[in-house]
Chain A
Amino acid sequence: MIENLSFYFYLFKKISLLLGAGVYLVFALIVVKQTFTMSKNINDKFNYILIAFSYIHLAFSFLLILLTLILV
């Protein structure tokens, strides 16, 4: 019974963390989209760098999902 409970707790923890990482991934996608939209609206010297940063952020949010699967 206790073993089952601890398993359910582990499952709950893992699913919650995965959901959180998924929500963060959606947020990262919104950041990319919004950086693109802002760059279209205002064209300045460093737009490409900002877009690159938003993509790096997106890549790290993918990594977050992977880490959640591996580490938890």
Chain B
Amino acid sequence: MPRSKDLDTIAPDDLIVVDSVPEPKKPTPVKKTVVVKKTVPVIEEPVVASDNILAQKIYDIFGHTKSPFSAALVFPKVFSFAEQNDGEVVLLALRSHWFTNTSWILMAIFMFTVPSLVPLIPIPGLDGGLRILLSFTWYLITFAYSFEKFISWYFDVSIVTNRRVVDIDFNNLLDKKFSEAELSKIQDISSRVSGVSQTFLNYGTVLIQTAAEQNVIVFEKVPFPGKITKLLQDLRFSESEKDKDGGQE
């Protein structure tokens, strides 16, 4: 029985028993081929092996993300931001709690029902064509209002990476604010939950005091403020430990 090569490396003195000796191959004519070197793109793993403990810790704190529209995305697979550096891993992407959207959703529903109420009110000079046009315009404005509110929520993101905390705010369609601070520059983390809805639904504001130029970074109305505070404290601690280890070496 032929032995595997692994065993040969363990016991090289043993003879290799081969059942049949393969015939020598006929020399094949050598063809001139143009060798094109292909550069294979290196796909970076979202979490490197050394970060596994950290990943497990984050999963322990937050659990796994169940919905893609969740306000807290833990290790999102399809998520990146323009200012993201090479090798920087997004640990947590946070949006405002879903409950913060209820006011504009209710407003949109009300706006949507208005054209059906208008025929009850007699308006002189509002003939068929103009009525259709106004209804169409109204629905368009309602859609634009809802869409603008939704994208303001969707793109207003607070991010925790393995290197820093980032806050991206789109206050309206034409105003973008980007603030960031390295984890090692975090000085103090505090959270605030106030009001009935925030207390019941467990969302609030996380304030991050930093030694960076932007000295306060605010994660507004994010879910699980306590858990976020704990995670940031852990990350800050591990960063300071790394710095200490680096200093000793």
Please provide the chain A residues from 36 to 72 with a CB less than 8 Å away from any CB of chain B in the complex: 37-38, 40-46, 50, 53-54, 57, 60-61, 63-64, 67-68, 70-72
Q: Is the CB of A60 within 8 A of B82?
A: no
A41–B168 touching, CB < 8 Å? yes
Give the distance in Å from the alpha carbon of A70 to the alpha carbon of B132 in the complex.
11
Residues of chain A with a CB closer than 8 A to B69's CB: 46
Is the pair B140, A61 in contact by a Cβ cutoff of 8 Å?
yes
Binds A, one of B2-10, B31-39, B151-159: B151-159
For the residues of A in contact with B, the DSSP-based class is: helix
Asked if B53 lies at the interface with its beta carbon under 8 angstroms from chain A, I say no
Number of interface residues of B (CB under 8 A): 29
B144 at the interface (CB under 8 A from A): yes
User: Which A residues are in CB contact (< 8 Å) with B143?
Assistant: 57, 60
- Which residues from chain B contact A17 at a C-beta distance below 8 Å? 133
- Contact assessment for A41 and B144 in the assembled complex, using a CB-CB cutoff below 8 Å: no
Chain A residue nearest in CB terms to B77: A45
Is B200 at the interface (CB under 8 A from chain A)?
Answer: no
Chain A: CB-nearest residue to B172: A34
**B133–A31 CB distance below 8 A:** no
A16 to B199, CA, bound (A): 50
| Closest beta carbon of chain B to A49's beta carbon, Å | 10
Contact B68 A46 (CB under 8 A): yes
Binary interface encoding of chain B residues 42-79 relative to chain A, with 1 for a CB under 8 A from any of its CBs, else 0: 00000000000000000000000000110000001011
CB distance from A51 to the nearest CB of B (A): 10
B194 within 8 A of A: no
Is B82 within 8 A of A50, CB to CB?
no
CB distance from B208 to the nearest CB of A (A): 20
**Distance in angstroms between the alpha carbons of A7 and B75 in the assembled complex:** 65
B contact residues around A30 at 8 Å (CB): 173-174
Among the listed A31, A43, A44, A46, which residue makes an inter-chain contact with B173, where contact means beta carbons less than 8 Å apart? A31
Interchain CB contact under 8 A, B173 and A34: yes
Instruction: Give the nearest-CB partner of A34 in chain B.
Output: B173
Question: B154 to A40, Cβ gap below 8 A?
Answer: no
Residues of chain B within 8 A (CB-CB) of A35 are 151
A31 adjacent to B147 (CB under 8 Å): yes
- In the assembled complex, the CB of B226 is this many whole angstroms from the nearest CB of chain A, namely 25
Contact A42 B168 (CB under 8 A): yes
Q: What are 23 pairs between A and B in contact, CB < 8 Å?
A: A24-B140, A27-B144, A31-B144, A34-B151, A37-B176, A41-B82, A41-B176, A42-B81, A43-B79, A43-B80, A44-B93, A45-B68, A45-B78, A46-B68, A46-B154, A50-B151, A57-B144, A60-B143, A64-B133, A64-B137, A64-B140, A71-B129, A72-B129
Report which A residues bind B (CB closer than 8 A). 17, 20-21, 24, 27-28, 30-31, 34-35, 37-38, 40-46, 50, 53-54, 57, 60-61, 63-64, 67-68, 70-72
Q: Nearest 5 pairs between A and B by C-beta? A: A71-B129, A38-B155, A43-B80, A34-B173, A41-B82
